[in-house]
């Protein structure tokens, strides 16, 4: 039995790496055993670069999204996550809120990576939003992966150093450009992993972990871009607790089971109405709750 870490996952196939640095393609024993990138596993080598994963260690945290039908794990056992946004095409405030709630609910340290900072006027337009995130305590790191690769490395490598970081973001923000800027041989690695996983042409549809140059402990995890980010795995209360600006106000509403939408005496709505908390995030939060209820109503009753 060998101890290993999952460095790429594609369906039931994964690529694992032992402490000695040996890589093997692996499947799990049994369908109920699911692995994701960053998992610590016990595996039995079968020879010829193959292995069977027998067990998965308890996760310190996990970044996941879910809709009514299924849950998708992005990665586990993270030190932090960088959410990549850009001024053009404009990032979605709603997707950003959802990703932030998912990470915050797991206690994962989050930073915003604002790419394409070279896009002057579009960049200026999002500045008020960046101020909101800075005020909430999130680190905001600016870069231009395509036009200023050296400055981008200088801005990001100190933040990445010695840590395991998940990079995630909606498509088009420049995540692939960023990975290629930070990991010199990312393209070659991805082709090798893709071949090992027999993923064929779907080179961007799986999550994989890279080593950072000149950084023995540093790891960066690239994940596929997304167009939707469901939070069905989180209760209303867990979502509310994942909003840092709500924290001091929770418990001050008139009703203990307040949904912070229309109830009289809601401390959070009052704070949004008089500008003490950001109204855009508040309104998006309220919309999440409404959507969740619609799904709950549509589910058949199982008595």
Ligand X SMILES: Nc1nc2c(ncn2[C@@H]2O[C@H](COP(=O)(O)OP(=O)(O)O)[C@@H](O)[C@H]2O)c(=O)[nH]1
Apex 132 CA angle, 259 and 104, nearest 5: 55
Shortest CB 9 distance to Mg ion, Å: 17
The answer to whether the CB of 155 falls within 8 A of the CB of 143 is yes
Query: With respect to Mg ion, which residue has the nearer C-beta, 176 or 292?
Result: 176
DSSP string, 37-84: TT-EEEEEEEETTEEEEEEEPPPS-EEEEE-SS-EEEEEES-SEEEEE
Give me the least distance between CB of 174 and ligand X, in Å please.
3
Beta carbon nearer to ligand X, 111 or 119: 119
Handedness of CA 14, 15, 18, 24 (dihedral sign): positive
Which CB atom, from 35 or from 103, has the smaller least distance to ligand X? 103
Q: Minimum distance between the CB of residue 260 and Zn ion, rounded to whole angstroms?
A: 4
Q: How far apart are CA 56 and CA 42, in angstroms?
A: 7
Query: Counting contacts by CB under 5 A, is residue 223 touching Mg ion?
Result: no
Residue number with the smallest Cβ distance to Mg ion:
176
Binding site for Zn ion (CB under 5 A): 253, 258, 260, 266, 268
Long-range contacts of 124-130 (CB under 8 A, 24+ apart): 125/87, 126/87, 126/90, 126/91, 129/93, 129/280
Structure tokens at 145: 């992966």
Query: Do residues 164 and 77 lie in contact, with contact meaning Cβ atoms separated by under 8 Å?
Result: yes
The nearer residue to ligand X, 144 or 207, going by C-beta atoms, is 144
Cα separation, 271 vs 240, whole angstroms: 14
**In this complex, which beta carbon is closest to Zn ion, that of residue 88 or of residue 263?**
263
Per CB under 6 A, residues contacting ligand X are: 115-116, 118-119, 144-147, 169, 171-177, 225
* In the complex, minimum distance from the CB of residue 285 to Zn ion, in angstroms, rounded to a whole number: 11
User: Which of 273, 269, 234, 239 minimizes the C-alpha distance to 254?
Assistant: 269
| Partner in contact with 85, chosen from ligand X, Mg ion, Zn ion, none, beta carbon below 5 to 8 Å by kind | none
**Is there a contact between 171 and 84 (Cβ–Cβ < 8 Å)?**
no
- Residue 226 CB, shortest distance to ligand X, in Å, is 10
Residue with tokens 């090992």, as numbered in its chain: 196
119 binds, among ligand X, Mg ion, Zn ion, none (CB under 5 to 8 A by kind): ligand X
Show the CA angle centred on residue 248, arms to residues 245 and 254, nearest 5°: 110
Q: Are strands 71-76 and 62-66 parallel, antiparallel or unpaired?
A: antiparallel
Range list of H helices, 136-242: 149-160, 175-182, 186-197, 236-241
Among Zn ion, Mg ion, ligand X, none, residue 147 binds (CB under 5-8 Å by kind): ligand X
Nearest approach in angstroms of CB 261 to Mg ion is 36
- The site partner of 177 among Zn ion, ligand X, Mg ion, none (C-beta below 5 to 8 Å per kind) is ligand X
In the bound state with Mg ion, the residue whose beta carbon lies nearer, of 38 and 169, is 169
CB of 97 to ligand X, least distance (A): 19
| Shorter beta-carbon distance to ligand X: residue 60 or 146 | 146
Cβ nearer to Mg ion, comparing 61 with 176? 176
Q: Does 176 bind Mg ion (CB under 5 A)?
A: yes
> What residue 174 binds from Mg ion, ligand X, Zn ion, none (CB within 5 to 8 A, per partner kind)?
ligand X
Q: How far is the CB of 229 from Zn ion (least distance, A)?
A: 24
Residues in region 50-109 near Mg ion by CB under 5 A = none
């Amino acid at each position: 039995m060998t101890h290993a870490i999952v460095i790429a996952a594609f369906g039931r196939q994964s690529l694992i790496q032992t402490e000695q640095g040996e890589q093997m393609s692996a499947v799990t024993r049994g369908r109920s055993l699911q692995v994701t990138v960053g998992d610590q596993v016990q595996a039995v080598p079968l020879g010829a670069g193959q292995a069977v994963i027998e067990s998965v260690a308890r996760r310190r945290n996990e970044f996941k999204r879910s809709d009514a039908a299924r849950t998708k794990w992005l990665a586990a056992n993270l030190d932090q996550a960088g959410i990549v946004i850009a001024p053009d095409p404009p990032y979605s405030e709603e997707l950003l809120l959802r990703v932030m709630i998912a990470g915050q609910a797991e206690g994962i340290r989050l930073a915003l990576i604002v790419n394409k900072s070279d896009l002057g006027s579009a960049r200026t337009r999002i500045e008020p939003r960046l101020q909101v995130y800075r005020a909430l305590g999130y680190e905001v790191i600016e870069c231009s992966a395509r036009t200023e690769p050296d400055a981008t490395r200088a801005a990001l490598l100190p933040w990445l150093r010695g840590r395991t970081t998940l990079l995630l973001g909606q498509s088009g923000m420049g995540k692939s450009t960023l990975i290629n800027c930070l990991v010199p041989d990312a393209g070659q690695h991805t082709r090798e992993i893709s071949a090992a996983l027999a993923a064929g042409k779907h080179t961007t549809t799986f999550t994989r972990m890279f080593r950072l140059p000149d950084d023995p402990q540093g790891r960066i995890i690239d994940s596929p871009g997304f167009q939707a980010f469901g939070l069905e795995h989180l209760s209303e209360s867990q979502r509310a607790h994942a909003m840092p600006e709500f924290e001091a106000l929770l418990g001050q509403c008139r009703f203990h089971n307040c949904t912070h939408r229309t109830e009289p005496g809601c401390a959070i709505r009052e704070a949004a109405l008089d500008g003490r908390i950001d109204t855009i995030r508040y309104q998006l939060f309220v919309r999440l709750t409404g959507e969740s209820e619609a799904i709950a109503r549509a589910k058949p009753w199982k008595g």
